[in-house]
Amino acid sequence: MLHMAGLYDLRAGQADSYVHNVVATNHALALAQRLEIPKFIFTSSVAASINSPLKQVKPYDLQFTRPFPDFYSEAKALCEQMINNWSDGPSLKVNLRLGILTGDTQTGEIERIDGPYHAYRAFEKARTLIERWPGFLPLPGEARKKIPFVPVNVAAEAIRSFCEWTLQSEEEGFKSFHLVPTSGVGVREFYKSILKNLFIRHQKVLLLEGWPSGVINPFAEHLLNFPKEELTYLLRFPAFDTQATRLILGERWCPEYTEYERTLWRGYEKFISNR
């Protein structure tokens, strides 16, 4: 059984996040147990470990003593904990923590604006201000942070490969993997990429490291329409251990951001022009 259903909404309330993610996953596990399905795959999210204090997060790491930034990430973490602790039913339970999905690598096609596209739209709105800004452009972020973008077609192929691996595997118990690129793109490089693709002349970016989210998030949301929930993720991503994933999918299973950068924004531009 491949369970991919869920509510992906960083602004959803606690009740909706719990019912659509945790309760629904409980039903899926119970159904797999009743039908005696031996292999169970769940698509989670790197959001499940967004509150980790570790510099590098392993696929099994969960932290419930620290607050989550939103109910979505908390619900995904609860799902993982429930699957791991499910004693009867499937003999092999595989947890896939997906990175931040983007448009595909062929056309960049998207169906809605979220994640990196909110950042792009915010820069579009602030074009005049950015071009007139003297000296370095101050933006939130930390130089050591990497953003784990994964094109949706690459993610789909990875899930298919894990389905095959699961069917052929003699492993038992709970196995967890990060479906993210080996490196990821730095926050500064991501900002400069947007500026370049918008043909905005300002290319000098100064990262405001250590600034409290209570100061940055309201400014970004009210002036630039950048949802504060998504900005929180941009500022907090830890590094993700992908060694186990690469052993199964290969070293080059996920392209790095620079390999599909222009296609990504071309898909956004097409989406906007057709609205």
Residue-wise pLDDT tens digits, 68-86: 999 999 999 999 999 999 9
Residue 213 has pLDDT above 60, yes or no: no
User: What pLDDT is stored for residue 227 in this prediction?
Assistant: 63
What are the Cα distances from residue 108, in Å, to 31, 36, 68, 104, 153?
36, 40, 31, 5, 10
User: What pLDDT is stored for residue 59 in this prediction?
Assistant: 97
Q: What is the pLDDT of residues 92-145, one digit of tens each?
A: 999 999 999 999 999 999 888 888 888 888 888 888 888 888 888 888 888 888
User: What pLDDT is stored for residue 174 in this prediction?
Assistant: 97
Altogether, the residues listed in the chain come to a count of 275
Q: What is the pLDDT of residues 132-182, one digit of tens each?
A: 888 888 888 888 889 999 999 999 999 999 999 999 999 999 999 999 999
Range of the domain at 142: 2-273
Instruction: Supply 209's token pair.
Output: 């490291």
Q: How many domains is the chain built from?
A: 1
CB atoms within 10 A of CB 181: 24
What are the Cα distances from residue 86, in Å, to 4, 59, 91, 100, 231?
18, 18, 10, 27, 34
Residue 220 has pLDDT above 80, yes or no: no
CATH number of the structural domain spanning residue 39: 3.40.50.720
Q: Does residue 61 contact residue 46 with C-beta atoms inside 8 Å?
A: no
Instruction: Supply 9's token pair.
Output: 């909404």
